[in-house]
Amino acid sequence: MTTLATTGDAFVATRDTAADSHGAAAASQRTAATPQFYVLDEHPHPAGYSTPLGFWLYIMSDCLLFSVLFATYGVLGGNYAAGPSPRDLFDLPLVAVNTTMLLLSSITYGFAMLAMQDNRAGRVQMWLAVTAFFGLCFIGIELYEFADFIRQGATPQRSAFLSAFFTLVGCHGLHVTVGLLWLVVMMAQVAARGFRDTVQRRLFCFSLFWHTLDIIWVGIFTVVYLVGIVS
């Protein structure tokens, strides 16, 4: 941004010398004879004005974290060390159920946001509870799957493939778990404070977080489970 901290006289003088080269536009500005100033200090924004953009930048950095884990899985995913391969381990119907759970929790959170626009607290609480229920189902199924793998001897230290698998999928599961805690906190805040602006802003940030986790799960079930079964 251009900043000019000059007094009127000096400003007009510099404009005069530049007028020849700048032609008609500069000349017409000179006839107005009122020097134009730019604000040096940043003007105040309302509180929380840039929160959605800042949170979106956080989401992007989280995508970077997952991209590194995806790259690790892509490099190491074929090193079974004579251990179990994806074909031996993965149970696609279970993954399909899990995918459905996360997709449903995503859509029900969208309904909660719509109810918030209508200012209906009871309905918001109901949809948040439904979202939390589906999220819990997702985590429960994932933990069951992990326990099943470990019972079969497919532990993270068995092979490079399993290390990368547990890191990638476990990191996503950890995000969903933290998201569930956040969801409970938001239910308490809506109950205690209603839809004041800060609460609305947090609900909006949570919607970014929750929908993004669903997007990352799309990548996981495709790259890890489906491509693992196919190849």
Q: Tell me which residues touch another protein (CB under 8 A).
A: 44, 46-49, 51-53, 56-57, 60-61, 63-64, 67-68, 70-72, 74-75, 92, 96, 99, 103, 106-107, 110-111, 113-115, 117-119, 196-198, 200-201, 204, 207-208, 211-212, 214-215, 218-219, 221-223, 225-227, 229-231
Nearer of residues 110 and 156 to another protein, judged by Cβ: 110
Q: How many helices (H) and strands (E) does the chain have?
A: 8, 0
CB 107 to another protein: min, Å: 5
CB 16 to another protein: min, Å: 38
CB 221 to another protein: min, Å: 8
CA–CA gap between residue 138 and residue 189 (Å, rounded): 24
| Token pair for 74 | 């892509």
Burial-class residue 129 by CB neighbours within 10 Å (0-12, 13-18, 19+).
middle
CA–CA gap between residue 9 and residue 65 (Å, rounded): 55
CB 141 to another protein: min, Å: 16
Collapse the DSSP code of 38 into the 3-class scheme (helix H, G, I; strand E, B; otherwise coil) and give the result. Answer: coil
Q: Tell me the CA distances in angstroms from 107 to 36, 114, 135, 178, 211, one per residue in order.
A: 51, 11, 12, 19, 9
Nearer of residues 19 and 130 to another protein, judged by Cβ: 130
Nearer of residues 16 and 197 to another protein, judged by Cβ: 197
Nearer of residues 54 and 153 to another protein, judged by Cβ: 54
Q: Tell me the CA distances in angstroms from 4 to 16, 22, 42, 231, one per residue in order.
A: 16, 19, 14, 64
| Token pair for 9 | 């006289």
CA–CA gap between residue 210 and residue 225 (Å, rounded): 21
Nearer of residues 166 and 225 to another protein, judged by Cβ: 225
CB 17 to another protein: min, Å: 37
- Is residue 180 within 8 A of residue 136, CB to CB? The reply is yes
Nearer of residues 99 and 132 to another protein, judged by Cβ: 99
CB 176 to another protein: min, Å: 15
